[in-house]
Amino acid sequence: MLVQSSAGDEKDDGSASQLTRRGRDLGPLELGFGIALAVALHVLVFPVETADVRDYLIPWLRHTDQVGLDYLRQPFTDYAPFYEHLYALLSLFPGDAVIRAKIFYICFEVAGAFLVTLVVPRDSRRRAFVAALLLPTVIHNAAATGQSDAIYTVFLLLSLLASMRRRPVFAMLAFSVALSIKFQSLLYLPFLALLFFRKRQPWWTFSLLPAGYVLFSIPMFLASRPIQDLINVYTNQAAKNGGLSSNAPNFWLLGNALPDTQIALLIGLPAAALTVLACVIWMSRKRLVDSKEGMLLAATTLMFLSTWIAPKMLDHFFYPAQILLLCLCFYNGRYLVVLGLAQLASLLSYVPFIMVSYDRFNPFFGETGYMQSHFGFGWGIFALAGAVPMTMVVVILLRWCANYRGEGEPQLS
């Protein structure tokens, strides 16, 4: 239940509603076993090395190993300034470049798991911590494929926590940092717009959006890097990302076969934005954000919807939405079924990314294989199959938003 502190902040006093009382939390031995299992599974997949790691991550890390602070002058990645600072930091540590990066990314997974414990009810915190480290999409992301989605997800979780505690300025600053790390953090913006419509996020706080990017760009600017190299990073990324979907589990995969994807993009992107905006306005007429569970349900639904409906998405863009959905499971067990569907969808969408690195010319699913020649889908057929359960996830979450009443859940007054 939420109580009011002397400073006027809502706090969780640890008591569980009927929705959250589903058994005791983990004991010390169970917690230790869960953490040990998570470590073992992460180490088990460490040897995986994808084409992205070979073609991009390794050369970038070797570059910073060689040039030192000269990295500030000329861009050597197609990523935001934050990542160039990160790779420079990693160059200070000894050892294999990929292992260094994966360990650093996993540190953010641990930080994210800790923040998850602050989002869920107090009587579920240890279970939530272990679950966040054992989630299949989490193990796949950093330890297996060297992806860094955990980093910006940490700041999205900080933003959510700040919103739950009525700290709109900090919520926007945390989101600004997330946006300066990865542009797909923008998929969280509809939730902040919902808070604005509910008078929980003042309009002027949106002026803080560029703050994080500007902060990380200052060292490059002072080192005389051309300003156009700094401001065009995200537009250049979008131009390089060909097709309407890069194995994201949504039906934009079917549009990749179109002779002119630009027309579909010009129609699809505004249509997706308007659909999400309509959903935000619809949600603003309800009382979703007046309780912790409702706020979390709204944030999760909008992130899944935005990633599912928009073109130009990648397979791992659902990562933060999966973390939010995991948090929901500790408010009500009914969300576990949806989490299972979401995990299945994402794992299916990861198959092409892994298999192209290890079995690119498979006679059946490879680039010149039977499926690609006859149906236009090789390994990507698995991502297309993942679009079915992901669509089910979005529909179910929207229905639950429509029917949400918040009975038994403490209100954020």
**Inside any domain, residue 27:** no
pLDDT per position as a tens digit, 281-331: 999 998 888 889 999 999 999 999 999 999 999 999 999 999 999 999 999
Residue 12 within any structural domain of the chain: no
The answer to whether residue 409 is domain-embedded is no
Residue ranges making up the domain that contains 73: 34-240
CB atoms closer than 10 angstroms to residue 91: 19
Is 300 among the domain residues? yes
Burial level of 221, CB count in 10 A (0-12/13-18/19+)?
A: middle
Q: Are both 255 and 383 inside the same structural domain?
A: yes
What is the number of domains present in the chain?
Answer: 2
Confidence of residue 386 (pLDDT cuts 50, 70, 90): very high
Q: Are 147 and 101 in contact (CB under 8 A)?
A: no
Q: Is residue 225 predicted with pLDDT exceeding 70?
A: yes
**Residue 140 pLDDT greater than 80, yes or no:** yes
Shared domain check, 147 and 219:
yes
Residues 151, 284, single domain; the answer is: no
What is the tens place of the pLDDT at every residue in 349-378? 999 888 877 766 666 566 666 566 655 677
pLDDT for position 4: 39
**Is residue 16 assigned to a domain?**
no
- Does residue 67 sit in the same domain as residue 207? yes
Residues 201 and 254 in one domain: no
Q: Say whether both 154 and 278 belong to one domain.
A: no
* Token pair belonging to 226: 């051309």
Burial state string for 114-125 with b = 16 or more CB within 10 A and e = fewer than 16: ebbbbbbbebbb
pLDDT at 407: 54
Residue 137 forms part of a structural domain: yes
Domain match, 220 and 320 both = no
In angstroms, the Cα distances linking 235 to 186, 213, 229, 232 are: 14, 14, 11, 5
Say which range, 5-19, 158-172, 259-273, 363-377, has the weakest mean pLDDT: 5-19
Give pLDDT, residue 134: 97
Say what the pTM is: 0.90
Task: Let me know whether 192 and 66 are in one domain.
Answer: yes
- Is residue 7 pLDDT above 60, yes or no? no
Are 273 and 306 a contacting pair, CB within 8 Å?
A: no
Q: Are residues 364 and 299 in the same domain?
A: yes
pLDDT band at 41 (very low <50, low <70, confident <90, very high): very high
Residue 99 sits in the same domain as residue 114: yes
Q: Is the pLDDT of residue 410 over 50?
A: no
Residue 213 pLDDT exceeds 60: yes
User: Among the three residues 240, 258, 289, which one is the final residue of a domain in this structure?
Assistant: 240
pLDDT for the residue numbered 361: 61
Q: For residues 131 and 255, state if they share a domain.
A: no
The verdict on residue 7 lying in a domain is no
Q: Are residues 247 and 189 in the same domain?
A: no
